[in-house]
Amino acid sequence: MFKLWSTVIKDIRILWRDKVGISLMFIMPIILVVVITSIQNSTFQLVNKNKLPLLICNKDTGKISSELIKDIGKIGMFKVSLVSGVKDEKSMSEAMHTKDAMLGVIIPSNFSSKVAAKSKNIAGKAMSSFGLQGDTVKHAGDVDPLTIYYNPVLQESLKLSVAGGIRSALQLVESGETLKSLYFSINEKQLPESLENEMLNNKTAINEIPVSKDGTRTTPNATQHNVPAWTIFAMFFVIMSLGGSVVREKVSGSFIRLKTLPTNYAVGILSKQITYMGVTMIQAAVIFSMGIWLFPHMGLSALNLPSDWLALFIVTLVCGWCAVSYAICVGVFADTQEQANGFGAVSIVILASVGGLMVPSFAMMGFFKSAASLSPMHWCLQAYYILFLEGGKLKDVINNIVPLFIITIVLQLIIFLGLKRKNLI
Amino acid sequence: MALNNPLAIDIENLGFRYPGNSDLSFSKLNLKIAKGERFGLFGPNGAGKTTLISLMTGLLSVDEGHIKLLGKEVGKKNNQVNKLFGFIPQDFSFYQELSTVENLEFFGAWYGLNRQTIRKRTDDLLHILGLEEVKDKQVQKFSGGMKRRVNLAIGVIHNPKILFLDEPTVGVDVQTRYAIINYLLELNKNGTTLVYTSHQLSEAEGLCEQVALIDDGKIIAHDDLDKLLKDYRQDSLEHLFLNLTGKDFRNDV
């Protein structure tokens, strides 16, 4: 025990004096968490609070196009600006660039008359089907399409929301016009505004409730999503210090002496695991603390810790152990520090991508969806999401802890075989 | 050569080849070193000195024959054998980020010493090797000579019965060499068997009583130094060395 204790103290001393290593393990992930959460927060707000800048060039002079513009504004997603003089795609592109707009819509010149004619026609057809006489418009024709221009940086999902929003505004205008025509055909008078509002705007409400295991209804935010995810990444980032440390020890003169001492090098490996598991726990504590106390001062939502602290501790511990095992595994097989650092850095980015830290696993296709289960980060992330977003308890994350534990044991086995093969234990 | 004392090191019919190399580095090599001897192993580059020391310290595994240290067979990571000896490699074998005291604490623990013994031995060694003033400074800031002293202190913290020294004074000033050699003589007086290898033959003459010359994996001479000089009619170890191993360059690839 004294040997292990002395080795842990030695490892802590070396680590404490490795300022670059400490920066890589603490400062870099902290910056990453803050930056990613802030950026993601902006995206959340883009949908919820901020509005997408939308340019509308209305070539039509009628009333219906003005109503359409009013309805688009009511969607709440857009900050509408009107422009004139846009003739084609090129001039719209220039206008969007000048006004820093993500979207542009051109309403064609005969929009109101064509919508009115179409509505009258539909109302006439409806009257005929009721066995009544109604007005129809000969050669009503189709309404010219609205053209939506969008900045290519706009994500596909956002683009679909935009198209859906505008389509719904358009439908509202068209339905309103049809209703007015129908009413006029029946009653020979204008549809009262109050009735029009009641008929068109009295929609069934949609409630949005986040589903949680503990019954709480806290709406998830960028902090709640990103802090746990990037804490996992930070834990795996120990590879930048630990992988190199294993290689450094292996290639340094000290290792020759270690091999001649009456102590198994397994003690050295165990000590590194204990030391760096401590580091991963401190990393998690620091990042969570930042989320709780610092983020609100930065205009971000505060992190809400799960109610089951034991589950949080166990998940973090197993995740840290897995990260440390992976780093040691890379260190055992790498011949140089450059190999360990290069492979380590690239591989954790790949594991993070496959594991769903960058793109949610549920959105992945075929092979990558299956591959996600091979990434330890996937299981850590799922466990954290159950705790942080769904209010889960220890029993809810067991199914995630077990695969994570199995991956860790496999890594330990690989470490053992690697050390044996290299005659190091 | 008759050995009156019991054996510290007994090598019998040693055979060894490096993995992937068809040629044997050693074939049926025999060597006996008595307890309390100051033994010097010399030879040109690539002769097999470091390989032989690596085999004696268990860093490499024997293919044929056996090596015994104080009657115990050297095997793969044999803790009972590893307690018996100290090893001072040519490279600095310690943690440069740690201080002398921290290195001694760690290596002392790995030698199986308890806290009190480590503390006492650390104080003694710091005093003997003149490292008291810098005991808490990181070793990486030390001069080459100071690092050599730290290297030595770590290898002897557990009072080994056999001490293997691979070029223990390379690159040091006269004062440090004098201090190291004097300390090694002191250790030997207290019963430690010294197995020394170096290219500093004049230094070896002052330290070693018994010498063996090795070339191409074979021991070409082994006896009392004075007797060898007399038998070969040479006035120094350097001349004896050149006489037996020739003056051609050795390319150790």
Decide: helix, strand or coil at residue A351. Answer: helix
Evaluate whether A253 touches B93 at the Cβ level (below 8 Å): yes
Mean pLDDT of A303-331: 93
Mean pLDDT of A398-410: 94
**Residue A17 Cα, gap to closest chain B Cα (Å):** 7
* pLDDT computed for residue A359 by the predictor: 66
Q: Within this chain, do residues A308 and A252 fall inside the same structural domain, yes or no?
A: yes
HSE-CB of B170 using CA atoms within 13 angstroms: 13
| Span A235-279, pLDDT tens digits | 998 898 888 888 888 877 777 888 888 888 889 889 999 999 999
Largest CA distance in chain A: 107
Could B58 and A260 be called an inter-chain contact, meaning their C-beta atoms sit closer than 8 Å? yes
Q: Within this chain, do residues A232 and A375 fall inside the same structural domain, yes or no?
A: yes
Cα A94 versus chain centre, distance: 31
Chain B residues 59-118 within an 8 A CB cutoff of chain A: 59, 76-77, 79-80, 82-83, 85, 87, 89, 91-95, 97-98, 102, 105-112, 114-115
Question: Is A384 a member of any domain?
Answer: yes
* pLDDT computed for residue B206 by the predictor: 81
Q: Within this chain, do residues A197 and A58 fall inside the same structural domain, yes or no?
A: yes
Report residue A77: phi and psi, to 5°: -90, -20
Report in angstroms the alpha-carbon separations of A379 from A277, A398, A411: 18, 10, 15
| Span B5-47, pLDDT tens digits | 688 899 998 888 887 776 667 788 888 999 999 999 888 887 7
In sign, the C-alpha dihedral spanning A90, A93, A99, A105 is positive
| Span B69-101, pLDDT tens digits | 998 888 766 788 888 999 988 888 889 889 999
Evaluate whether A283 touches A327 at the Cβ level (below 8 Å): no
* pLDDT computed for residue A274 by the predictor: 95
How does strand B38-42 pair with strand B210-215? Answer: parallel
Could B110 and A263 be called an inter-chain contact, meaning their C-beta atoms sit closer than 8 Å? yes
In this complex, which of A18, A254, A263 lies closest to B94 when CB atoms are compared? A254
* pLDDT computed for residue B250 by the predictor: 64
Q: Within this chain, do residues A255 and A368 fall inside the same structural domain, yes or no?
A: yes
* pLDDT computed for residue B22 by the predictor: 66
| Span A65-113, pLDDT tens digits | 888 888 888 887 788 888 887 777 788 888 888 877 888 888 888 888 8
Domain end marker among A201, A235, A264: A201
In this complex, which of B91, B95, B109 lies closest to A6 when CB atoms are compared? B109
**Residue A339 Cα, gap to closest chain B Cα (Å):** 22
Question: Is A206 a member of any domain?
Answer: no
Q: Is A264 exposed, middle or buried (0-12, 13-18, 19+ CB in 10 A)?
A: middle
Could B57 and A260 be called an inter-chain contact, meaning their C-beta atoms sit closer than 8 Å? yes
Complex ipTM value: 0.85
Name every chain A residue with its beta carbon within 8 A of the beta carbon of B95: 10, 14, 252, 254
Could A253 and B59 be called an inter-chain contact, meaning their C-beta atoms sit closer than 8 Å? no
Q: Within this chain, do residues A295 and A384 fall inside the same structural domain, yes or no?
A: yes
E-strand ranges in B35-161 read: 38-42, 64-69, 72-73, 85-88
Closest B-chain CA to A19: B97
In this complex, which of B59, B110, B155 lies closest to A3 when CB atoms are compared? B110
Distance, CA of A308 to CA of A306 (rounded, Å) = 5
Within 10 A of B91 (CB to CB), how many other CB atoms are there? Answer: 14
Report residue B4: phi and psi, to 5°: -85, -35
Distance, CA of B39 to CA of B163 (rounded, Å) = 10
For residue A228, which of A305, A128, A143 has the smallest C-alpha distance? A305
In this complex, which of B93, B97, B112 lies closest to A253 when CB atoms are compared? B93
Question: Is A207 a member of any domain?
Answer: no
Give the torsion through C-alpha atoms of A359, A365, A367, A371, to 10 deg. Answer: 30
Could A3 and B59 be called an inter-chain contact, meaning their C-beta atoms sit closer than 8 Å? no
Is pLDDT of B2 > 60?
A: no
Mean pLDDT of A360-371: 68
Could B102 and A259 be called an inter-chain contact, meaning their C-beta atoms sit closer than 8 Å? no
* pLDDT computed for residue A273 by the predictor: 93
Number of residues that make up chain A: 425
Q: Within this chain, do residues A197 and A294 fall inside the same structural domain, yes or no?
A: no
In this complex, which of B79, B109, B155 lies closest to A2 when CB atoms are compared? B109
* pLDDT computed for residue B120 by the predictor: 94
Q: Within this chain, do residues A363 and A293 fall inside the same structural domain, yes or no?
A: yes
Q: Within this chain, do residues A193 and A284 fall inside the same structural domain, yes or no?
A: no
Question: Is A323 a member of any domain?
Answer: yes
Evaluate whether B136 touches B164 at the Cβ level (below 8 Å): no
For residue B62, which of B111, B10, B1 has the smallest C-alpha distance? B10
Distance, CA of A227 to CA of A234 (rounded, Å) = 10
In sign, the C-alpha dihedral spanning B165, B171, B175, B178 is positive
Report in angstroms the alpha-carbon separations of B135 from A148, B127, B142: 75, 10, 11
Q: Within this chain, do residues A380 and A234 fall inside the same structural domain, yes or no?
A: yes
Provide, rounded to the nearest whole percent, the portion of chain B with pLDDT above 90: 28
Question: Is A210 a member of any domain?
Answer: no
Mean pLDDT of A45-56: 72
* pLDDT computed for residue A260 by the predictor: 87
Distance, CA of A304 to CA of A127 (rounded, Å) = 59
Q: Within this chain, do residues A197 and A93 fall inside the same structural domain, yes or no?
A: yes
* pLDDT computed for residue A97 by the predictor: 81
Provide, rounded to the nearest whole percent, the portion of chain A with pLDDT above 70: 90
Q: How confident is the model at residue B109 (pLDDT cuts 50, 70, 90)?
A: very high
Q: Within this chain, do residues A363 and A232 fall inside the same structural domain, yes or no?
A: yes
What string of DSSP letters covers B23-58? S-SEEEEEEEEETT-EEEEE-STTSSHHHHHHHHTT
Total of domains in chain A: 2
Q: Within this chain, do residues A302 and A371 fall inside the same structural domain, yes or no?
A: yes
Report how far apart the first and last C-alpha atoms of chain B are (Å, whole number). Answer: 34
Identify the bridge partners of residue A53 per DSSP, sorted by sequence position.
A79
Name every chain A residue with its beta carbon within 8 A of the beta carbon of B77: 259, 264, 425
**Residue A263 Cα, gap to closest chain B Cα (Å):** 6
Q: Is B35 exposed, middle or buried (0-12, 13-18, 19+ CB in 10 A)?
A: middle
Q: Spell A122-139 as b/e; 16+ CB within 10 A means b.
A: bbbebbeeeeeebebbee
Could B58 and A253 be called an inter-chain contact, meaning their C-beta atoms sit closer than 8 Å? no
* pLDDT computed for residue A48 by the predictor: 59
Closest A-chain CA to B78: A262
CB pairs under 8 A between A and B: 83
**Tell me, what DSSP letter sits at residue A77?**
S
Q: Which of B62, B91, B95 to mutate to test the interface with A (most CBs of A within 10 A)?
A: B95
For residue A23, give every residue at least 6 positions away whose Cβ sits within 8 Å of its Cβ, in sequence order, or none: none
Q: What is the CATH number of the domain that holds A174?
A: 3.40.1710
Range of the structural domain that residue A104 is part of: 51-201
Structure tokens at B9: 């090191």
Name every chain B residue with its beta carbon within 8 A of the beta carbon of A250: none
Mean pLDDT of B203-208: 82
What string of DSSP letters covers B160-199? -SEEEEESTTTT--HHHHHHHHHHHHHHHHTT-EEEEE-S
